[in-house]
């Protein structure tokens, strides 16, 4: 596996006449099995794989969150070397390599940025769009792999690729969980032990809500999830929203879910000062 830190090295690799397809997995490092599942999927589908490790400052609306974000480059390289070979590379750039000048581009995503992470993390998706479009320009992948854990991000990136007419196929991969159900996240390592012990209840509550979906109003499902999580000491729900799977339009509190439609229940919460997100599909049949 090659390790690159400059845009020039990436361009030389892309221009060297590589055969077959290039799969790309953008990450912010502090890698875990969730990230590795994306790398495995890329390895299976593509002849070359590129993994970037870049903690993107423009997508953090909270400066202390950026400062506290875990950084473990040596462990990350070791882990990636178990899956990647000479056909593949990792890209660990400095901030000035990605942003030689300030990026002032403003993206618009209509209704899909009006809910959930959009209003709760102002500027977040604009920063994601800036970094992903820049990385796509540098790496020039055929396919890019993202986790369904960041459900809304996948919808934003599909829209980004469409708006910019980029020749990149976006592939969304399932959420990888710890044995108690907690969705793997780089942020989990910052959880206090007493919060980590109860964090499996997030997924268990989502599963219970999914089971209740065919027989309950949206209002009751929301009350159930919020009540359960807020009852855990030190946990605070930021939002639990039920949205239509493609448009991300929230389902009105007083209506029933419609058979035949696909919905997702999406949660963001704080466990102490650690912000976690998760989601589950709500099926009616």
User: How far apart are alpha carbons 45 and 91 in whole angstroms?
Assistant: 20
Contact status: 121 vs ligand AMP (CB under 6 A): no
Q: Which region, judged by CB under 6 A, interacts with ligand AMP, from 67-75, 84-92, 184-192, 262-270?
A: 184-192
C-alpha closest to that of 57 among 25, 7, 98: 98
Contact status: 186 vs ligand AMP (CB under 6 A): yes
In angstroms, what is the minimal distance from the CB of 156 to ligand AMP?
11
C-alpha closest to that of 242 among 278, 266, 209, 226: 266
Q: Which region, judged by CB under 6 A, interacts with ligand AMP, from 32-40, 160-168, 211-219, 265-273?
A: 32-40
| 8 Å CB contact between 157 and 163 | no
User: How far apart are alpha carbons 184 and 191 in whole angstroms?
Assistant: 12
In angstroms, what is the minimal distance from the CB of 230 to ligand AMP?
23
Active site residue 219: no
Q: Is the dihedral of CA 226, 231, 235, 236 positive or negative?
A: positive
> Among the options 32, 35, 124, 216, which is catalytic?
35
| 8 Å CB contact between 242 and 222 | yes
Task: Looking at residues 145 to 174 of the shown chain, list those that interact with ligand AMP (rule: CB under 6 A).
Answer: 146-147, 149-150, 173
In angstroms, what is the minimal distance from the CB of 164 to ligand AMP?
18
Among 133, 185, 188, 205, binds ligand AMP (CB under 6 A): 185
Contact status: 34 vs ligand AMP (CB under 6 A): yes
Contact status: 175 vs ligand AMP (CB under 6 A): yes
Q: For residues 76 and 241, which CB has a smaller minimum distance to ligand AMP in the complex?
A: 76
Is residue 13 helix, strand or coil?
helix
Q: For residues 37 and 133, which CB has a smaller minimum distance to ligand AMP in the complex?
A: 37
Q: DSSP letter for 85, please.
A: -
Backbone angles phi, psi at 187, to 5 degrees: -75, -15
Task: Looking at residues 42 to 81 of the shown chain, list those that interact with ligand AMP (rule: CB under 6 A).
Answer: none
C-alpha closest to that of 268 among 231, 233, 232, 229: 229
The residues of the shown chain that bind ligand AMP, judged by CB under 6 A, are 27-28, 34-35, 37-38, 146-147, 149-150, 173, 175-176, 183-186
The residues assigned a catalytic role are: 35
């Amino acid at each position: 596996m090659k390790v690159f830190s400059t845009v020039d090295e990436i361009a030389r690799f892309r221009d060297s006449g590589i055969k077959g397809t290039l799969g790309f997995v953008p990450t912010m490092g502090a890698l875990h099995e969730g990230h590795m599942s994306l790398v495995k999927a890329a390895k299976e589908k593509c002849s070359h794989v590129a993994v970037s490790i870049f903690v993107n400052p423009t997508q953090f609306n909270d400066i202390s969150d950026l400062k506290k974000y875990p950084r473990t480059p040596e462990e990350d390289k070791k882990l990636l070397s178990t899956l990647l070979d000479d056909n593949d590379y990792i890209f660990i750039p400095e901030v000035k390599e990605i942003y030689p000048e300030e990026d002032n581009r403003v993206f618009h995503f209509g209704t899909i940025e009006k809910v959930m992470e959009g209003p709760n993390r102002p500027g977040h998706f604009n920063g994601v769009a800036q970094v992903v479009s820049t990385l796509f320009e540098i790496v020039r992948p055929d396919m890019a792999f993202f986790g369904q854990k960041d459900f809304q991000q996948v919808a934003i990136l599909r829209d980004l690729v469409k708006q910019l007419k980029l020749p990149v196929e976006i592939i969304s991969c399932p959420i990888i969980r710890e044995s108690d159900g907690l969705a793997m996240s780089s942020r989990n390592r910052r959880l206090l032990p007493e919060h980590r012990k109860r964090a499996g209840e997030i997924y268990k509550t989502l599963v219970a809500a999914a089971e209740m979906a065919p027989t309950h109003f949206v209002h009751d499902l929301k009350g159930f999830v919020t009540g359960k999580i807020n009852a855990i000491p030190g946990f605070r729900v930021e939002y639990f929203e039920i949205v239509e799977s493609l448009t991300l339009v929230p389902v009105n509190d007083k209506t029933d879910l419609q058979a035949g439609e696909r919905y997702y229940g999406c949660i963001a919460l704080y466990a102490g000062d650690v912000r976690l997100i998760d989601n589950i599909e709500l099926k009616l049949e």
